[in-house]
Amino acid sequence: MPTYLMSNLQKRAFASYPDHIVLEMPNLSPTMEKGNIKDWGKKVGDEIAPGDVLASIETDKAVVDFEMQEEGFVAKLLYPAGAKDIELGKAVAIIVENKEDVAAFANYTADSADASAAPTETASAPSTPAASSAPATSYPDHIKLEMPNLSPTMERGNIQNWLK
């Protein structure tokens, strides 16, 4: 079974919540638009460590383990096991560093996570001007490849060389 190393995360801090990491539905293939949560490997309050499987994510092609690279505690699972058709980038879980912070997320919902994502996404928009400077034309169906997030702290990367 293939393993997906956690790269879809955003560290957040809001006045009403302790510091936390929002884990988003990962993009596991170029054609994937939505994913299903087959099983949760952890439950709220469980400690996680690098290599632990948080969830099994089902795509249209395979079931892939969502493997952690961080240490901490599961504060909230935003969808039940068996949830279907979760859009890419939607928040699926909350991770905190301290076990005592778990209780603060008891009433946290997917809607609160998505609403709080907006400021972070607009703040990380420096790459947008390059896209908007492209001519306003209609392109044929295609897949847009983005720079992969290779570590939890990665903000940008450099392409050393093209293989193809």
Sorted by where each starts, the structural domains of the chain and their CATH numbers stand as 3-117 (2.40.50.100)
Mean pLDDT over 134-138 rounds to 58
- Nearest-angstrom CA–CA distance, 66 and 40: 9
Given a cut of 60, is residue 11 above it in pLDDT?
no
pTM of the full structure: 0.62
What integer pLDDT is reported at residue 127 of this predicted model?
36
> Using one digit for the tens of pLDDT, what is the confidence trace for 63-102?
989 888 889 999 999 999 999 999 988 999 999 999 999 9
